[in-house]
Amino acid sequence: LAIDWSTQGIVDRRNRFYSASQRKFVPYKDPLIIKRGRGQYVWDEQDRKYIDLLGMNLCISVGHAHPRVVKAASEQVAELTHCTTMFYHPVPAQYAEELAGTMPAGHEWVVHFTNSGAEAIDLALLMARSHTGNIDMLALASSYHGATFGAQSVTGIAGFRHSVPQLGGVTFVPEPNQYRGIHGEGVEPYLKEIDRAIATSTSGRLAGMIVEPVQGYGGIVPIPEGYIAGAFERVRAAGGLCIIDEVQSGVGRTGEAFWSFESHGVVPDIVVVAKGVGNGIPLGAVIATREVAETMADKFLFHTYGANPVACAAGRAVLKVMREERLQENARTVGGALRTRLEDLKERYPIIGDVRGRGLMLAIELVRNRATKEPAPEETLAVFEETRRNGLVASRSGPYRNVIRMCPPLCLAMADVDDVLDRFERSFAAIAR
Ligand code: PMP
């Protein structure tokens, strides 16, 4: 089949045949066509090379076109592309065992495979409500959990919530954003908000609470130590389950742990994973304790592509490569170096108000005034467009669109850190002029 790589051809076809919302979510003013990816790099159709600072939206964990993942997936495509969970196959079963094995010891974990994060979020909500018999759910105000009805209902960012009846029974509490949260720094005032929300906006009995340990679309907001533990204690006291969304922050990305919740000393009841687990092949899962998941045994819950052998073969290869290439450790060391260099950059450019994140999940937030923290969305856009010209692919996020998000493939090398900084430096300098 002929492929038309011309910019005009792609733009015209998108404009004519993509729905409005699928056209809308693009980072740059002019289209960026991505033709090829290897490791931490991508190339456009003119063969210009970029450092993929976004891991193509966090899906690329072990690197673009990693040979082990490519081999595992393509061998499985050729042998048997699909069979559904109606028929038995060893690959998804073994992958379920391996994925369950990444969860904290001392609990029996089971896996329900989906195709995407949002589907898994929906299932997590359903599980929490089925298991507890309660309805009320807490979520953080600047959260993002996906685009389906269920996932939108627990998504706090207005731009992702459509004007339709959402699932009822969701109460939002302020996110403990240590840079610009409504209570400033600290954990206690935000925990008090949970107490107040339970007492004044719910029945007093919860189905659960859902948290991203590092908020992604909220602008890379790491949840401070003590908050998740304190929140979960309160949620459990109200009869609810604790749900962690690891869709962005999982798979070793934060460096210190394979799943970012582990750094908070908590054991959730339900963990939602997607994106990086498949290294770009559509794959998601709900990992829950057997006790919680078994309460849904009386009804069918069938995802046609859930436990697809190709996706699971890729998932198995990802886990193996993560271990063998020590990519979690790489995320910690290279991410640490990148962060230090970004903090140096902040010293030189007053427009950088904050540098934050964990491992290879980092961000810089741009402000017009460091004292008032007035967001600088136009300036962010200008710097951002410049970084593209300088060979970086990243994304803007946060409620004010003034955060540059960096979540590269976990194989980003120390040598790339110099290149990234050099390109940021040139971009900031060009805007400062
Ligand atoms: N949770 C988080 C934290 C996400 O960032 C996303 C996707 N950006 C989702 C859930 C939903 O995943 P998907 O787009 O695969 O449905």
Pocket test for ligand 1, best of 253, 275, 286, 405 (most atoms within 8 A of CB): 275
Q: Residue 212 CA: which ligand 1 atom is closest?
A: 3
Q: ipTM higher than 0.95?
A: yes
182's CB contacts (< 8 A; 6+ apart) are 174
In this prediction the pTM is: 0.98
Ligand 1 is surrounded, with C-beta below 6 A, by 116-118, 121, 144-146, 212, 216-217, 245, 247-248, 274
The mean per-residue pLDDT over the stretch 390-411 comes to 95
Q: What DSSP assignment string belongs to 91-114?
A: HHHHHHHHHHTTSPTTS-EEEEEE
Q: Would you say residue 24 has pLDDT above 90?
A: no
Q: Would you say residue 248 has pLDDT above 90?
A: yes
Q: Residue 115 CA: which ligand 1 atom is closest?
A: 15
Pocket test for ligand 1, best of 248, 281, 286 (most atoms within 8 A of CB): 248
**How high is the pLDDT of residue 356?**
98
Domains along the sequence of the chain with CATH: 7-62+326-432 (3.90.1150.10), 69-324 (3.40.640.10)
The mean per-residue pLDDT over the stretch 164-177 comes to 95
What is the residue-averaged pLDDT of the chain?
A: 97
**How high is the pLDDT of residue 389?**
97
The mean per-residue pLDDT over the stretch 201-220 comes to 97
**How high is the pLDDT of residue 263?**
98
Cα 308 to Cα 98, 294, 358, 407: the distances in Å are 16, 22, 32, 27
The mean per-residue pLDDT over the stretch 13-30 comes to 92
Residue 200 · residue 157 · CB < 8 Å? no
**How high is the pLDDT of residue 433?**
83
**How high is the pLDDT of residue 278?**
98
The mean per-residue pLDDT over the stretch 326-344 comes to 98
**How high is the pLDDT of residue 267?**
98
Q: Would you say residue 187 has pLDDT above 90?
A: yes
Q: What is the Cα–Cα distance from 140 to 156, expressed in whole angstroms?
A: 7
Q: 85-139 pLDDT, tens per residue?
A: 999 999 999 999 999 999 999 999 999 999 999 999 999 999 999 999 999 999 9
Q: What is the Cα–Cα distance from 342 to 404, expressed in whole angstroms?
A: 12
**Three-state DSSP class for residue 403:** strand
**Three-state DSSP class for residue 226:** coil
The CA 250 to ligand 1 mean position distance, Å, reads 12
Pocket test for ligand 1, best of 57, 144, 253, 272 (most atoms within 8 A of CB): 144
The CA 370 to ligand 1 mean position distance, Å, reads 31
The CA 247 to ligand 1 mean position distance, Å, reads 6
The CA 119 to ligand 1 mean position distance, Å, reads 9
